[in-house]
Amino acid sequence: MNKEPVIEALPVKRAHELQIRPQQQRWLIESLWSEQAVGVLGGEPKCCKTFLAMDIAVSVASGSACLRQFCVHRPGPVLMFPAEDALEDVRARLDGICTVAGTRLDDAPIHVITVPRLHLDQEDQRRRLAATVELIRPRLLILDPFVRLHAVDENHASEIAPILSFLRDLQRHFQAAVLLIHHTRKGGNKLRPGQALRGSSDLHGWGDSNLYLRRPNDGDQLRLHIEHRAAPALNPITLQLHENGSGPALQICTPVPDSPPPQQPSAQQRLLAALADAQQPLPMDKLRKLCGMRTTTFCDVLRQLKEEGRVRRTKHGLYSIPTATEPVSLSLPL
């Protein structure tokens, strides 16, 4: 007599057993982008979408306030693919934004994918991007723009769904936020921002945090609309591209209400956050890369945290955060 196969039940937890995310870990960039969120930065052509994406990249990589207003809670490396810009222009724009942000490009761990083409509807190229994300371990992945990432019909949900699912899988596996730049359709200013995105409505529904840039009239000012799946959004913000002598950068034209003042995480907080996110011991070189610090600063901070017992060095030369049950050595050399 044949026995029926045993079907394994799905794992289940009581709701009160689910992990609570601390308030300070809910934002990658305060009020602009949720921690580990996927989403779209949308707008018509020539609406400075790339400038805003680069401002976000500089802020996440350096820990400086985005648009000089919105603080970054968890700085870390950034990986970006600028499909439509010459690499020299990418460098020049990032240099100018760094100057305005009060940081240096060589101190900001921004990594640029330099291949001329990346089609995520092709399995081999999805694997190459995943391997690159695994190598860099970015806090944020920026892909600019979506139309250059595939050769499918954007209007068919069944064709873009595998690409969006792949990017969601990247986010979950590597705990990295994903920002996808996308165009809005012509005449989209008459629609709600999310509904104006070109192609399938799946793009709008996919995002945890979405940003939309619009030019409300023929002037130079832009209107930034913010949308979150699990948090209230700020009122629209007026921006303008401003030439600062080192290159153009976006600036906020009017004060943003109810926004906390920029509070930069300390070097100690950045190092501890990198170890906590890794969830495994790390070698010194990889840890410093994740922190985005100069070698001298990194070594001083690491030594201080070791002396305080907040970081331990294993016998294999790896670094981790001690658990409550393991012994802590305060005298191991760096």
| Residue 46, Ramachandran bin (φ over 0: left; ψ between -120 and 50: alpha; else beta) | left
pLDDT of residue 190: 64
Sign of the four-CA dihedral 105, 110, 114, 116 = negative
Q: What is the mean pLDDT of residues 81-105?
A: 95
β-strand partners of 41: 181, 211
Q: What is the DSSP string of 210-262?
A: EEEEE--SSSSEEEEEEEESSSPPPPPEEEEEEE-SS-EEEEESSPPTT-PPP
Dmax (CA) for the chain in angstroms is: 83
Name the range with the highest mean pLDDT among 129-143, 273-287, 310-324: 129-143
Element (H, E) at 193: none
Q: Are 107 and 292 in contact (CB under 8 A)?
A: yes
Name the range with the highest mean pLDDT among 24-33, 140-149, 305-314: 140-149
pLDDT of residue 257: 57
pLDDT higher than 80, residue 325: no
Q: Are 54 and 283 in contact (CB under 8 A)?
A: no
pLDDT of residue 333: 34
Q: How many CB atoms lie within 10 A of CB 72?
A: 29
Please give the residue that has the higher pLDDT: either 280 or 205: 205
Please give the residue that has the higher pLDDT: either 263 or 283: 283
Q: Are 186 and 20 in contact (CB under 8 A)?
A: no
Is the peptide bond between 248 and the residue preceding it cis, with omega within 30 degrees of 0? no
- Residue 182: φ, ψ to 5°: -145, 155
In the numeric block, the tokens 């595998």 are attached to: 162
Q: In the sheet that 78-82 helps form, which strands lie side by side, from edge to edge?
A: 110-112, 78-82, 140-144, 177-183, 38-43, 209-214, 221-228, 237-243, 248-252
Is-above-0.85 flag for pTM?
Answer: no
Sign of the four-CA dihedral 192, 233, 222, 184 = negative
Can you list the alpha helix ranges (DSSP code H) found in the chain? 49-62, 87-101, 123-136, 157-174, 202-206, 267-278, 284-291, 295-307
All structural domains of the chain, each given as residue ranges with its CATH number in brackets, are 23-252 (3.40.50.300), 267-320 (1.10.10.10)
Tokens of 249: 């950068």
Q: Which of 178, 177, 211, 144 is nearest to 74 (CA)?
A: 177
